[in-house]
Amino acid sequence: MLVLQLANNGNLRNYLRNKQVEGVYKISWAELIRIASDIANGLKDLHNKCIIHRDLHSKNILIINGRALITDFGISKQLNDTTSSSSNKGGIPAYIEPQCYLQHENVKRDQRSDIYSLGVLLWELTSGIPPFYSFPDQAIIIKISKGEREKIIKNIPLNYANLYSNCWSSNPD
């Protein structure tokens, strides 16, 4: 018998969509920061256990009683796993770090892969929409490969914008 916790608020993507009121995205900073902290702390716990998620996006974050939980570890790996292959590019293109698209040889994804995805999620929390939502996957891959990122959302604290900009930098070191 398997017992699972009910995700009463669904995934983060749907949760943010439900925050749209008459075309205007409304979320309090307290709520946004709580969700961002939950995701960052969950990711920190994974990385402390030498696990890289490799598929971190808003459909893999569940909201339970207002708290965010990382889910779907289907393509996760132990950091010391020496496997590197083109299958490392699994996931949703807008959340995958540019190095996976730029390097012709196989890329070994590590914690920086998840940090890039975290930056995209932090941006998504301020916008209420998925990154590059109006573009097909191939166009998103080209944009990310060229260093394009979504625009900084107006009227957000500079420190928060700098945080997600640093996370999704093309030079993650």
Tokens 């009227």 found at: 155
Question: What does the pLDDT look like over 12-40, one tens digit per residue?
Answer: 999 999 999 888 899 999 999 999 999 99
Q: What is 39-58 written as a DSSP string?
A: HHHHHHHHHHTTEE-S--SG
Domains of the chain (ranges; CATH) run 12-77+85-167 (1.10.510.10)
pLDDT at 74 over 70: no
Q: Which residues are catalytic?
A: 55
What global pTM score does this model have?
0.87
Query: Which residue, 81, 89, 58, 87, is CA-closest to 71?
Result: 58
Is residue 115 within 8 A of residue 172, CB to CB? The reply is: yes
